[in-house]
Amino acid sequence: MLKLSKIKVALIGIGNCASSFVQGLSYYSKCKKHEDCKGLKNFCLGGFYPSDIEIVAAFDIDKRKVGKSLEKAIFAVPNNTPRLSNVPQTNVRVERGPVLDGMGESLKKVIQVDDRPESNAVKILKESKSDIVVNLLPSGAIKATQWYAEQALKAGCAFVNVTPVLIAGDKKWSRRFSELGLPLVGDDLIDQFGATTLHKTLLNLLTKNGVRITETYQLDVGGGTESLDTMERTKETKRTIKTKAIEASLPYKAEVVAGSTDYVEFLKNKRDSYFWLRGTYFCNTPLQIDLKLSAVDGPNAGSVLFDVIRATKIAMTKKVTGTVLPISAYAFKNPPEQVPLEKAEEMFLKFIG
């Protein structure tokens, strides 16, 4: 059997999502068969297993993380996602990245900026032989996200934009990655089983069964630094993205509202989502549903990131360049083109196959 090369990944922002992802790599790399991988959608994807993903570089700005080895930095304050797995010692040291707009006014009370000089990101990416740069910065970090996308281009790396900043959906960025023969995917990663996924699935199920939805909303309340930053800088942006994502799951027009509504510190890395919908079914009979979902944010990104990173490596081997729609539509809330759930899944599997 042909032995596939490791997928070498650089992480930008060592927050709760990075912590869960690194812990997940340790947890699932021990799995020998699919039955042992509970909680993971795809154990093997295109010939790649979780153990084929290797973190080779990491960047942050907080002095409690910069200079530390990755397995220690992921548990440093202000990270508050649960401990999911023991992480063995790594040879990866967290490097000092630029601040730019990576820290809004609210986060200044939470983050302690390291006073060391910025690291040479391009040099580190090249020396570590990074294949893919994964951007896990706060939602409001527009300039910082663009800066790291630029460094990925200079270093010859693919770029995965987890944030809602428009990168994969921007034709200029897509063209630049295409010109250098590099894949680009994004924007705004969808959760494995978060509010948007549940909402879209529920609407899809009801519509398939002949229910006509007239009005629906999804309201999210969360703790953690991402929720804090969202309330200050990207509340309206994320509301627009989530609303469009929900609307795309309906084959007709309906009144839709979806977005984050508040930050509650004691929730820590948890998020509570409230759903309400109204519609009609047989003989115009009224129907109404109220639901609540409670989940932990960090781990919710893990399974999807596993798929995205492996699929991006497959795009590299296939020499697919620029924005990769099958990956973006499958795993992100704001892809360049909104695609219904089933079609997105079909596109993704065909691309992998």
Cβ neighbours of residue 208 closer than 8 Å, sequence gap 6 or more: none
DSSP strand pairing (212-222 vs 270-281): antiparallel
Q: d(Cα 121, Cα 296) in Å, to the nearest integer?
A: 31
Alpha-carbon distance of 115 to 111, in angstroms, equals 12
All structural domains of the chain with their residue ranges: 7-190+301-352, 195-296
Whether the Cβ atoms of residue 329 and residue 348 lie closer than 8 Å to each other: yes
Report the percent of the chain where pLDDT is more than 90. Answer: 88
Region for 210 from its dihedrals, namely left if φ exceeds 0, alpha if ψ lies in -120 to 50, beta otherwise: left
Domain 195-296, CATH among 3.40.630.10, 3.30.360.10, 3.40.50.2000, 3.40.50.970: 3.30.360.10
Give the pLDDT confidence score for residue 184 in this predicted structure.
98
Q: For the segment 132-185, what is each residue's pLDDT rounded down to a tens digit?
A: 999 999 999 999 999 999 999 999 999 999 999 999 999 999 999 999 999 999
Query: What stretch of H or E contains 317?
Result: helix 302-317
Q: What's the average model confidence in pLDDT over 71-95?
A: 95
On the question of pLDDT at 250 being above 80, the answer is yes
Paired tokens of 73? 């930095």
Q: Which residues pair with 221 in a beta bridge?
A: 262, 272
Q: Does residue 125 register a pLDDT over 60?
A: yes
The answer to whether the CB of 40 falls within 8 A of the CB of 306 is yes
78 preceded by cis ω (within 30°)? Answer: yes
pLDDT at residue 340, rounded to an integer: 86
Amino acid at residue number 14: I
The pLDDT tens digits of the residues spanning 105-124 come to 889 989 999 999 999 999 99
Q: What is the pLDDT of residues 275-320, one digit of tens each?
A: 999 999 999 999 999 999 999 999 999 999 999 999 999 999 999 9
In whole angstroms, what is the distance from residue 197 CA to residue 162 CA? Answer: 16
Say which residue the tokens 């909104």 belong to.
338
CATH for 7-190+301-352 (3.40.50.720, 3.40.50.2000, 2.30.110.10, 2.60.40.10)? 3.40.50.720
